[in-house]
């Protein structure tokens, strides 16, 4: 990467290259097996420079998680910010999510898997993002329910549970879609809407699935 | 654990205690940080005995993943094996799933998170379980669609996508439910059915959510 003029590259750009390299290596080999030598080599810089910029392997990993989290939440929030009907708003957010995960498969792996399994420091970062997305989707569902023709107020815990289910379905479909070469973000988003919206839509019309007696 | 008579304990029982200890330590500290000393101590045996029985830390981890995977899939399959209507069959499977994850939170963490992020050997084990569960749920959805009053044949890829979404929603709700002290498996299963069934139900009645024009 970089050719002959790397020495005069601005710091932000150099740091971006280090994070790009770290995200790729961590996603593919796992955090424990990822080596700073390999990351430096892929970024086209010396290992001491990586330590100078990012301080430690742990700090580098934290910086990767924060960058990927910020980019993903920014993409989803930007798409949803509109005055569309509830299902269109959800569609826009879901499509932005799958577009992001399809375009950044390594970033998605770092955020969704690696961040959650290498100790409490990184898990706390991942939990914070998930809590933010859950709160965002919970508000979206609560607003949609109030705006529905039946103007329903869903119980808070139930609304949060629906948001958690929706986010899990989206995460699972993102992983799956990234394993299928020809799959598109639009297809994944359509499957999720088919799965989720009619369900949420029925709920907002006051139709609930009824638990069997004696279960 | 064990008191004074551990020496005469049958091998299977001793091995079960080692796996119980390993699952607990790996779930709470992560596989990389989990120490064989700690696992042996929690199991109430010597470290050489753990190596004698399970061979290596990697083999021990693999044995944990396989045991948890087998127990979870057995619980779900046993619950679903019946001639009930489709929604009741799904309810039974979903309830068995949440009952298992609530009763075995550490086993669930090992299977759902730890197995997926510590290199290809363990990820392959986790992928195999997920592929098996996906195939099982895909068949369940396909059968339900054919048995519906509208006798629909859903496209294979779409049916698999719905199964992937349903499994992701269930996994996410299982994680969330395990963080809420008073939450029950019945509540989690009801939320998932409210979220998923009406959506799947609408699909099986031939109602699809319509993608907005120009998206």
Taking only the tens place, the pLDDT of each residue in A94-143 is 999 999 999 999 999 999 889 988 888 898 899 899 999 999 999 888 88
Cβ pair B174, B133 in contact under 8 A? no
Which stretch, A8-17, B42-51, B133-142, B201-210, has highest mean pLDDT? B42-51
Which pLDDT value is given to residue B87? 78
pLDDT, one tens digit per residue, over B174-190 is 999 998 888 899 989 98
Is the CB of B88 less than 8 angstroms away from the CB of A188? Answer: no
Fold of the domain spanning B64-204: Tetracycline Repressor; domain 2 (1.10.357)
Is residue A63 over pLDDT 90?
A: yes
Judged by CB atoms within 8 Å, which residues 185-204 of A form the interface with B?
186-188, 190-203
* B215: pLDDT strictly greater than 50: no
Question: How high does pLDDT run on average in chain B?
Answer: 86
What DSSP letter does each residue of A88-122 carry, written as one string? Answer: HHHHHHHHHHHHHHHH-HHHHHHHHTGGGSS-HHH
Residue of A nearest to B110 (CA): A117
B22 or B198, which is more confident? B22
A181: confidence class by pLDDT, cuts 50, 70, 90 = confident
The answer to whether A179 contacts chain B (CB < 8 Å) is no
Helix (H, G, I), strand (E, B) or coil at A190: helix
- pLDDT of B140 higher than 90: no
**Beta carbons within 10 angstroms of residue A45's beta carbon:** 22
Nearest chain B residue to A190 by CA: give it.
B211
pLDDT at B209 exceeding the cut of 60: no
Number of Cβ within a 10 Å radius of residue B140? 18
Distance CA B4, CA A11 (A): 64
Backbone φ, ψ for residue B163 (5° rounding): -65, -45
Quick check: B190 and A211 CB within 8 A? yes
CA dihedral A154, A159, A161, A163 (to 10 degrees): 150
**Residue B212 backbone class (left: φ over 0; alpha: ψ -120 to 50; beta: rest):** beta
Of B96, B60, B62, B59, nearest to B77 by C-alpha is B96
Q: Taking a contact as any Cβ pair under 8 Å apart, which residues of chain A between 87 and 126 contact chain B?
A: 87-88, 91-92, 95, 113-114, 116-119
| CATH 3.30.70.80 holds for A66-204 | no
Partner-chain residue, chosen from B87, B168, B208, that has the shortest CB–CB distance to A172: B168
Q: Using one digit for the tens of pLDDT, what is the confidence trace for B119-129? A: 888 988 998 99
Q: Is the pLDDT of residue A18 over 90?
A: yes
Q: CB of A57 within 8 A of CB of A36? A: yes
- Rg of chain B taking only CA atoms, in angstroms: 20
Can you tell me the mean pLDDT for B93-105? 95
**Range scoring the smallest mean pLDDT among A14-18, A183-187, B99-103:** A183-187
| Choice between A189 and A82, residue whose per-residue pLDDT is larger | A189
Of residues A153 and A108, more confidence is placed in A108
pLDDT for A135 equals: 93
Higher pLDDT, B38 or B144: B38
**Beta carbons of A111 and A129 less than 8 angstroms apart:** yes
Instruction: Please report the pLDDT score of residue B210 as a whole number.
Output: 61
Set of chain B residues whose Cβ sits within 8 Å of the Cβ of A31: 117
Place A89 in a pLDDT band, splitting at 50, 70 and 90.
confident
Contacts of A171 in chain B (CB under 8 A): 168, 172
Using the Cβ of A213 and the Cβ atoms of chain B, whether some distance falls under 8 Å is answered with no
From the list A30, A193, A194, which residue is nearest B119 (CB)? Answer: A30
Chain A residues with CB-CB distance to B30 below 8 A: 117-119
Write down the pLDDT at residue A202. 66
pLDDT for position A2: 45
- Judge: A211–B186 Cβ closer than 8 Å, yes or no: yes
* Secondary structure (DSSP) of A114-150: GGGSS-HHHHHHHHHHHHHHHHHHHHHHHHHHHHSTT
For B44-73, how does the pLDDT look when each residue is reduced to its tens digit (9 = 90+)? 999 999 999 999 999 999 999 999 999 999
ipTM score: 0.84
pLDDT over 80 at A5, yes or no: no
């Amino acid at each position: 990467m970089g050719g002959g003029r790397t020495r005069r590259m601005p710091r932000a750009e150099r740091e971006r290259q280090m994070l790009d390299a770290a995200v790729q290596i961590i996603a593919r080999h796992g955090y424990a097996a990822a080596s700073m030598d390999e990351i430096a080599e892929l970024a086209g810089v010396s290992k001491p420079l990586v330590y100078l910029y990012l301080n430690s392997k742990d700090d580098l990993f934290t910086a990767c998680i924060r960058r990927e989290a910020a980019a993903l939440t920014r993409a989803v929030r930007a798409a949803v910010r509109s005055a569309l009907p509830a299902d269109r708003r959800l569609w826009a957010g879901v499509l932005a999510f799958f577009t992001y995960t399809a375009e950044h498969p390594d970033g998605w792996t770092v955020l969704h898997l690696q961040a959650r399994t290498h100790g409490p420091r990184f898990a706390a970062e991942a939990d914070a993002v998930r809590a933010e997305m859950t709160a965002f989707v919970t508000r979206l569902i609560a607003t949609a329910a109030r705006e529905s023709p039946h103007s329903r107020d869903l119980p808070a815990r139930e609304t949060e549970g629906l948001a958690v289910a929706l986010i899990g379905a989206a995460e699972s479909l993102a992983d799956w879609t990234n394993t299928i070469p020809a799959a598109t973000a639009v297809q994944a988003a359509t499957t999720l809407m088919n799965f989720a919206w009619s369900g949420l839509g029925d709920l907002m019309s006051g139709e609930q699935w009824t638990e069997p007696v004696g279960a």
